[in-house]
Every structure is written in C-alpha cells, then in structure tokens.
C-alpha cells in the first residue's frame, strides 16, 4: 500500500479534513469491477504527485459507516 493512505473512520478527519495539501479520496471495494479498472491509475497518480497531493483510499466493505457518511453506496 505504497503511495497512498488507507483511510478509516479513525483517521479520516486528520488525513483529509485537516490536510495541508489537496486530497483525492477513492472509495473502493475488492469485488467492484470499475474500482479494479481505475485502481492502477489512482496508484500511478499517488506515486507521480507524492508530496503535492495526497491520495486516500477507503475500503467500503471495511468502512461502511464512513462510506455512508459521505453518501457512497455500492450496488
């Protein structure tokens, strides 16, 4: 999990809301086809822009409450 931050309910506010740099948040699931397709691109962005932007990933299966708080629903 290099290049990005794994976001949870415990660290979301500090890592995202209080970040001094822009943050892209990827809500994803292991079983989600479109998530798997875009995942490598997001990983590439994390490596390319490290230090200038922060990439955070939220596993919606593990962080259902966090996903719900932000209006994220997976079919």
Task: Provide the token pair at 51.
Answer: 């230090």
Q: Which of 7, 35, 46, 66 is catalytic?
A: 35
Q: Using an 8 Å Cβ cutoff, are 35 and 17 in contact? A: no
Task: Provide the token pair at 21.
Answer: 């740099």
32 is catalytic: yes
Q: Using an 8 Å Cβ cutoff, are 20 and 52 in contact? A: no
Q: Which of 32, 42, 53, 72 is catalytic?
A: 32
35 is catalytic: yes
Report the C-alpha gap between 37 and 69 in whole angstroms: 25
Q: Which residues are catalytic?
A: 32, 35
């Amino acid at each position: 999990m290099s290049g990005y931050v794994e976001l949870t309910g415990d660290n979301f506010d500090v890592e995202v809301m209080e970040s001094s740099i822009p943050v892209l948040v990827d809500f994803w699931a292991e079983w989600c086809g479109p998530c798997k397709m875009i995942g490598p691109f997001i990983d590439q962005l994390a490596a390319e822009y490290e230090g200038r932007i922060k990439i955070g990933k939220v596993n919606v299966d593990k962080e259902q409450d966090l996903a719900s708080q932000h209006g994220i629903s997976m079919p």
